[in-house]
Amino acid sequence: MKKQKLQAAIRRRSPRRDDPYREREAARYEHPLPSREYILEVLQQSGVPVSEKALAAELSIHQKETEPFARRISAMERDGQILRNRRGDLCVPEKLDLVRGRVSGHKDGYGFLLREDGGPDIFLPEREMQKTLHGDRVMVQPGGVDRRGRVEGRVVEVLDHGQQKIVGRLHAEHGVLFVVAEDRRISQDFVVPPGEAGAAKPGQVVAAEIIAQPGRHARPLARVVEVLGNYADPGMEIEIALRKHALPFVFSAEVESLAAKLPKTVRPVDRRDREDLRRMPLVTIDGETARDFDDAVYAEADGRDFRLVVAIADVSHYVRPGDVLDRSAAERGNSVYFPRRVIPMLPEALSNGLCSINPAVERLAMVCDMDISAQGRVRDYRFYPAVMRSHARLTYTEVAAMLADPASAGASHKALLPGLQTLYRLYQALAKARQKRGAIDFETVETQMMFDDQGKIERIVPVLRNDAHRLIEECMLAANVCASAFLKKHHHPMLYRVHEGPTPEKLAALREFLKGFGLQLAGGDSPAAGDYAHLLSQVRDRPDAQLIQTVMLRSLKQAVYTPKNAGHFGLAYEAYTHFTSPIRRYPDLLVHRALKAVLAGEQYSPGDWLALGVQCSMTERRADEATRDVTAWLKCYYMKDRIGESFMGSISGVASFGAFVALDGVHVEGLVHISDLGRDYFHYDAAAHALQGERTRQRYRLGDRLRVKVARVDLEAARIDFVLS
């Protein structure tokens, strides 16, 4: 009764009646406070900084509300919605012309603020970067313009710290121990106080937790928590990458325990309400080193038309929404594939066992069963859960050989040959439809490292894509498109795989570049994928085809996961999603759950679809960056014994500081610094992707051929330097 009287009294005398979010707050909290939005509105209307006590009085905060109100104010400070000045008064950042964002550091000591409001980046000079670290969320006050025309900023406040741990090498100078971070975007050294190095010795690679963040007049401090070993130890490059990029690589005891409790085989109860495909000669076709098999395929002819069955491992049967397996998979986002080591999204009991479509064992599957015309058009499809048995584990090399020479099929595979030949005819129809659709087919070269028994690289070889690779790719594309069409038809949310076309700025730069070659990209201000594909077909036989393709590829945006459909530009699809790899990609697992929900007449809600898309896109980028780091280090290690040797190569990239050269046959890239290009002042022409000498007019352009010599190999920086030979 007393509580009700108090609330009534507050309502009678409180300006909170004007809070537009009063009902929302009342629904959320038993004792509602003024909403964040209303607090900001009151502060803005005051026109001057306000003390917390005065604000509380203005909002009629009762004595019993003082503590929760203080917590709300603190939370708003943490989120950067409000700020305290030197007197401790509360201010609205916009009134102080402050900008929120994330710090992106550079190895040379400076950095940039990546603004949350989407505005242009703000340059942070080295003196400002001493107050913060790469990844921190900060408030910055924009100031003047530097000599290069960049808006400079001053770090006013660090809202939250993006770095809690670092991995790096322990050094000692004048009796002082410090860690140099492996992530070159962190330019500060971390002092290790006496007694905080543990058993680590100078020169060793360590993991350390930050015990004091950098400040205006203080260097950051760190405590060694793990000794990884010596820099050149086998596998050290992966151990560093895992920690540098904060990749989860150890499953918790709870995850392992739940995985261990799962059945080892398909049980009778698991087969209930599933179609039986165990007699259908489904086969898996993967690379020689693959261990987790997501998909199996089968095709049969129907006159001139085809039936295509794509069976995908039913991971969602075992990994339930919200359980520890699911939370772990969401955190990881995807499996990460390093040379000689895989960090799986799911424990091995699932990824290589129960969910992997291994040969001659029963497995649960989600099936996309398609009716495809002779012209490669999907006329009808249906999704259903099934139980299946793979009739063979085939490799791309084996299948390509059997298709090229049917007589090469061994006795064990002879019975499968007619089905493979049908799959190949279907692939030809799908490939023609792809060409007609106008999908872009960039020809890129992937490489594979071959190691000796001691774990050292013997050679780096190109991975040649054959018709078996393309066959499986087209089957998976067809199933993915059907999944997006099915969910879209039933108005069910999903994570689309979105690949947008070029921005106006990148399109203008591409057209300017093409003009120098007498080429034109059709499509006006909104070119389609078909316009790109047509231009690629025009230049395919030109000696500069690789150069033109590279520049065209760089004009496009990166693909992302998002619930907002914007189509897939590169594949020329109006809607596209990922369905075919739930063992190694979390978005595919979400799509499987959505498909099952629709089939059951329900709706699946994993929470905030937009936030999930951001998370899955982030984990994908994180994995890409980690694998690039490992590959770069291994290539440096491979080249350290080849200093002084000369090679022919092509310019693969141009920057203001020099030209990157990819060596023929070696598949290694290094830098010819601008100072090593000749006795001249060289200027960078971004539009032409070239460096040109001021006096000599000597020009180094993307795609140009050069002979270079290996001058230096820096293992710590993972950098190879060339000089002209």
Q: What is the pLDDT of residues 659-677, one digit of tens each?
A: 999 999 888 999 999 999 9
Q: State which of 105-114, 123-132, 307-316, 441-450 shows the largest mean pLDDT.
A: 307-316
Distance CA 602, CA 609 (A): 17
Task: Grade residue 12 by pLDDT with cuts at 50, 70 and 90.
Answer: very low
Of 518, 525, 485, 482, the residue nearest 502 (C-alpha): 525
Give a yes or no: residue 385 inside a domain: yes
- Would you say residue 247 lies in a domain? no
For residue 13, what pLDDT is reported?
A: 45
pLDDT at 712 over 90: yes
Share of the chain above pLDDT 70, in %: 98
- Do 334 and 477 lie in one domain? The reply is yes
Longest dimension (CA), the chain: 93
| Residues 609/594, Cβ–Cβ less than 8 Å | no
Contact 371, 309 (CB under 8 A): no
Given a cut of 80, whether residue 565 has pLDDT beyond it is: yes
> Does residue 472 share a domain with residue 390?
yes
Are residue 356 and residue 306 in the same domain, yes or no? yes
pLDDT tens for 469-482 read 999 999 999 999 99
CA angle 368, 415, 417 (to 5 degrees): 70
pLDDT for position 14 = 57
CATH, residue 194: 2.40.50.700
Q: With b meaning 16 or more CB within 10 Å and e meaning fewer, what string describes 384-396?
A: ebbbbbbbbbbbb
Does residue 111 lie within any of the structural domains?
A: yes
What pLDDT is stored for residue 221 in this prediction?
A: 96
pLDDT at 117 over 50: yes
Q: What is the CATH number of the domain that holds 145?
A: 2.40.50.140
Would you say residue 3 has pLDDT above 70?
no
Q: Which amino acid is at 34?
A: P
Residue with tokens 């439809």: 433
Q: Helix, strand, coil: what percent of the chain each, to 5? A: 35, 30, 35
- Nearest to 329, CA basis, from 315, 340, 342: 315
**Last residue of one domain, picked from the residues 52, 67, 93:** 93
Q: Is the pLDDT of residue 17 over 80?
A: no
Please report which confidence band the pLDDT of residue 623 belongs to, taking 50, 70 and 90 as the band edges. very high
Residue 359's DSSP bridge partners are 390
- Average pLDDT in the chain: 91
Judge whether 283 and 394 are in contact, CB under 8 Å.
yes
In a domain? residue 614: yes
Q: Are residues 131 and 206 in the same domain?
A: no
**Does the pLDDT of residue 39 top 50, yes or no?**
yes
**Of 107-111, 539-543, 591-595, where does the model show the most confidence?**
591-595
Q: Do 190 and 208 belong to one domain? A: yes
**524 CB-near residues (< 8 Å, 6+ apart):** none
Shared domain check, 351 and 466: yes
Q: What is the mean pLDDT of residues 91-111?
A: 86
Residue 216 has pLDDT above 90, yes or no: no
What does the H/E/C string look like for 83-142?
Answer: EECCCCCEECHHHHCCEEEEEEECCCCCEEEEECCCCCCEEECHHHHCCCCCCCEEEEEE
Report yes or no on 207 lying in a domain.
yes
The answer as to whether 141 is a domain residue is yes
Query: What was the pLDDT predicted at 149?
Result: 81
**507 in Cβ contact with 528 (< 8 Å):** no
Confidence of residue 9 (pLDDT cuts 50, 70, 90): very low
**Domain finish residue from 93, 108, 136:** 93
User: What 3-state DSSP class applies to 151?
Assistant: strand
190 and 329 assigned to the same domain: no
149/300: higher pLDDT: 300
- Range 69-74 average pLDDT: 91
Structure-token pair, residue 237: 């490059």
Q: Give the per-residue pLDDT at 10.
A: 42
Domain count, the chain: 5
Long-range contacts of 625-628 (CB under 8 A, 24+ apart): 625/245, 626/241, 626/242, 626/244, 626/245, 626/247, 626/336, 626/338, 627/241, 627/336, 627/337, 627/338
Give the integer Cα–Cα distance in Å for 540 and 532: 12
293 inside domain: yes
Q: What's the rounded Cα separation, in Å, for the pair 7 and 10?
A: 5
> In this model, does residue 7 exceed pLDDT 80?
no
**Looking at the structure, do residues 647 and 661 belong to the same domain, yes or no?**
yes
pTM: predicted TM-score of the whole model, two decimal places: 0.83
Dihedral angle, C-alpha 327, 328, 334, 335, nearest 10 °: -160
Residue 675: exposure state from Cβ atoms within 10 A (0-12, 13-18, ≥19): exposed
Say whether both 17 and 34 belong to one domain: yes
The beta-carbon contacts of 682-691 under 8 Å, at least 24 apart in sequence, are: 684/654, 684/655, 684/656, 686/509, 687/509, 687/512, 687/513, 688/513, 688/516, 689/513, 689/547, 689/551, 689/654, 690/654, 691/654, 691/658, 691/659
| DSSP per-residue letters across 216-240 | TTB--EEEEEEEEEETTSTTHHHHH
- Average pLDDT estimate for 48-52: 85
Q: Are 552 and 538 in contact (CB under 8 A)?
A: no
586 and 444 assigned to the same domain:
yes
Residue 694: which domain range?
643-724
- pLDDT-derived band at 268 (thresholds 50, 70, 90) equals very high
pLDDT tens digits for range 544-554: 788 888 889 88
Region at 2 (left for phi over 0; alpha for psi -120 to 50; beta for the rest): alpha
Helix (H) or strand (E) holding 589: helix 586-599
pLDDT value of residue 20? 84
Same domain, 262 and 376: yes
CA distance 318 to 328: 14
Indicate whether 309 and 416 sit together in one domain. Answer: yes
Residue 88 pLDDT greater than 90, yes or no: no
More confidently predicted of 283 and 461: 283
Q: What pLDDT shows up at residue 550?
A: 85
Residue at 315 is within a domain: yes
Domain boundary among 50, 78, 93: 93
